Amino acid sequence: MSALADHEMVQLLAWVTGILVVVSIVTGILRATHRDGPVRELADNLALRTRSFWIVFILFAGALVSGEIVSTLLFMVLSVLALREFLTLAPVEPGDHRAMVWTFFVITPLQYVLVAIHWYGLYSIMIPVWAFLAIPTLNAMVGDSHRFLERTATLQWGLMVCVYCVSFAPALLWLHIPGYEGQNPKLLLYCVGIVQLSDFLQFIFGKWLGRHLMAPRISPKKTWEGFLLGVGCATAVGTVLWYMTPFRAWQAALLSLIVALMGVAGGLTMSAIKRDRGVKDFGTLLPGHGGMLDRIDSVTFSVPVFFHLTRFFFAKGT
């Protein structure tokens, strides 16, 4: 069944489009009425972010509507883009080259093929077991022992976060949830949407009302006010949308809360890495956001948790 035949899916897409239209209009008005000052700066930043959001959303919605395979391909591309940003900042050396060739050209595509043929038994262990063992072996065979553990661990970590974790997003499309057949694209949009909304609201509320920094030595932007209001509002929206999910209202509330909290955890973790490497953003791919990994850092932590909770409590079979 095409995702467009599901009128709730259309409704959800319309909601996101609506939010983006409203934000675009509001930033447009702010930019027209403020020549300079902090409001203008915020509005300029928002305009950049919104434009990037539009592009990402159109790609994402297009992929969801085009079916599982296209969606899987899209997430594979996201994985590669995120991984290249991650490994560019990582302390890799020429000795890692062979392992990186395998990482980019064999392990990553294979993971998504396994997801696409919904071989849960293998895609859930391929990277944590097989790739985990293969990478140090490849590095050892090259024979460069300089900072061996650091380099090997970096590659393994990059694979886990940018490929393994992200691949659970398209894996959601193949979960068999009794009574929810053919509606899985909504579940994916629901999960990613809640995380992104939570990120966005945390940013807005943080700018607006933020006073107390959450982790001043890791992120200069995350505040307790933004955190509480952002996560709270995203959870509320997730709860209201329960009727589109296979969950009851209280379950949707709990899952939204967990997903939003995991998103915060992902954002903080990636901030710590960026801080350590002395950069503000992982890349420059998405103006206003930074790189791809800056945009999906929260998703990498949320999606696997959402997948496994849904699979454990609601799915049957694979």
Partner 1 sequence: MATAEILAAFARFISGARPRWTGCRPDPTQRIYFANHTSHLDAVVLWALLPPPLRARTRPVAARDYWLAGPIRRHLAVRCFHAVLVDRVPQHHQHPLELLDVALDEGDSLILFPEGGRLRAAELADFRPGLWHLAERHPDVELIPVYLRFFDRVLPRGAHFPVPLLTDVVFGSPFERREGEGRDAFLVRAREAVLRLGAT
> Is residue 80 a contact point for partner 1 (CB under 8 A)?
yes
Q: CA nearest 252: which of 315, 262, 10, 244?
A: 244
Nearest-approach distance from CB 100 to partner 1, in angstroms:
4
- For residue 11, the tally of other CB atoms under 10 A from its CB is 12
Q: Which of 27, 56, 76, 85 binds partner 1 (CB under 8 A)?
A: 85
Q: Which of 24, 45, 88, 269 binds partner 1 (CB under 8 A)?
A: 88
> Is residue 97 a contact point for partner 1 (CB under 8 A)?
yes
> Is residue 135 a contact point for partner 1 (CB under 8 A)?
no
Nearest-approach distance from CB 106 to partner 1, in angstroms:
11
Nearer to partner 1, 87 or 177 (CB): 87
Q: Which of 11, 33, 145, 284 binds partner 1 (CB under 8 A)?
A: 284
> Is residue 157 a contact point for partner 1 (CB under 8 A)?
no
Question: What is the distance between the alpha carbons of residues 302 and 261, in angstroms, rounded to a whole number?
Answer: 8
Pick the stretch among 10-18, 98-106, 176-184, 206-214 that binds partner 1 (CB under 8 A).
Answer: 98-106
CA distances from 32 to 20, 40, 47, 100, 288 (A): 18, 9, 12, 48, 19
> Is residue 130 a contact point for partner 1 (CB under 8 A)?
no
In the block, residue with structure tokens 């409001």: 39
Question: What is the distance between the alpha carbons of residues 27 and 293, in angstroms, rounded to a whole number?
Answer: 25
Q: Which of 15, 104, 148, 174 binds partner 1 (CB under 8 A)?
A: 104
Pick the stretch among 30-38, 59-67, 96-104, 149-157 that binds partner 1 (CB under 8 A).
Answer: 96-104
Pick the stretch among 85-93, 114-122, 129-137, 231-239 that binds partner 1 (CB under 8 A).
Answer: 85-93
> Is residue 179 a contact point for partner 1 (CB under 8 A)?
no
Q: CA nearest 308: which of 83, 134, 123?
A: 123
Q: CA nearest 155: which of 225, 238, 90?
A: 90
> Is residue 315 a contact point for partner 1 (CB under 8 A)?
no
Q: Which of 230, 283, 290, 304 binds partner 1 (CB under 8 A)?
A: 283
> Are the beta carbons of 256 and 237 closer than 8 angstroms?
yes
DSSP assignment of 38-90: HHHHHHHHHHHHHHHHHHHHHHHHHHHHH-HHHHHHHHHHHHHHHHHHHHHHS
* Residues lying near partner 1 in the complex (CB under 8 A): 80, 84-85, 87-88, 92-94, 97-98, 100-101, 103-105, 283-284
